[in-house]
Chain A
Amino acid sequence: NAGVTQTPKFQVLKTGQSMTLQCAQDMNHNSMYWYRQDPGMGLRLIYYSASEGTTDKGEVPNGYNVSRLNKREFSLRLESAAPSQTSVYFCASGRDTLKVEQFFGPGTRLTVL
């Protein structure tokens, strides 16, 4: 039981490049989330998926897109990376409603030059 896994662990991009961050959970959870964490800013929600087939914007969705590929997988895409997107990205999942405890992945450290 791996929990929440994220790939890659580290990534360096040049401005304007695109990439997809992958997230998968093996706990049969309904809800999944993408956060970014910047120094002094805490966790900010980018997008979330309350259940398979649905996605919604969070606090900071601009510059990102998501896909809930199936119940297990929730990917985050940067179409044209900008230096302001340099951050640590965390994926999380929750068992059912949006109010239950969340389980976090180990994070992806992204640098955009």
Chain B
Amino acid sequence: SQQGEEDPQALSIQEGENATMNCSYKTSINNLQWYRQNSGRGLVHLILIRSNEREKHSGRLRVTLDTSKKSSSLLITASRAADTASYFCATANSGNTPLVFGKGTRLSVIA
């Protein structure tokens, strides 16, 4: 059963623009993670934000978490063609259960 739901399902932007993806979830979480998947490859972990954190940065990535709204957003600034990929959020629930992945957002960055 999917916990995180990404929005939008697909996003197309020009190189240099910012890309924002959102993730909503239903139950309380321990942490929320974002992953990237290039076409035909395995997922790669990008960033983890804990439930007591509100914002986190890593290079051109900025993640926010609003536990009151049960939502997170991933912002990629100054996007590049190489950022073209699918992006997934994954939630770690409070119990002793594995991560639950959403269905992903497909990002296309056009040069």
Contact = CB atoms under 8 A, between A and B. Distances in A.
A8 B46 CA distance: 27
Interface of B: 1-2, 30-31, 33, 40-45, 48, 88, 90, 92, 96-104
Interface in A1-48: 4, 31, 33, 35, 40-43, 45, 48
Interface in A65-111: 90, 92, 98-107
A66 to B, nearest CB: 14
A101 B1 contact: no
A33 B43 CA distance: 13
B88 A105 contact: no
B48 to A, nearest CB: 6
A35 B99 CA distance: 11
A36 B102 CA distance: 13
Contact of A98 (B40, B48, B98, B102): B98
B45 A102 contact: yes
Contacts of B40: 107
A101 B101 CA distance: 12
B103 A40 contact: yes
Interface of A: 4, 31, 33, 35, 40-43, 45, 48, 50, 58-59, 90, 92, 98-107
A103 B99 contact: no
Given A41-B103, A90-B43, 11 more contacts: A35-B101, A40-B103, A42-B2, A42-B102, A43-B43, A92-B42, A92-B43, A100-B48, A101-B33, A102-B45, A106-B41
Contacts of A104: 42-44
A45 B31 CA distance: 18
Contacts of B2: 42
A45 B40 CA distance: 18
- Per CB-CB distance, the 7 closest pairs between chain A and chain B, nearest first, are A104-B42, A42-B103, A99-B92, A43-B101, A101-B45, A104-B43, A98-B98
A98 B45 contact: no
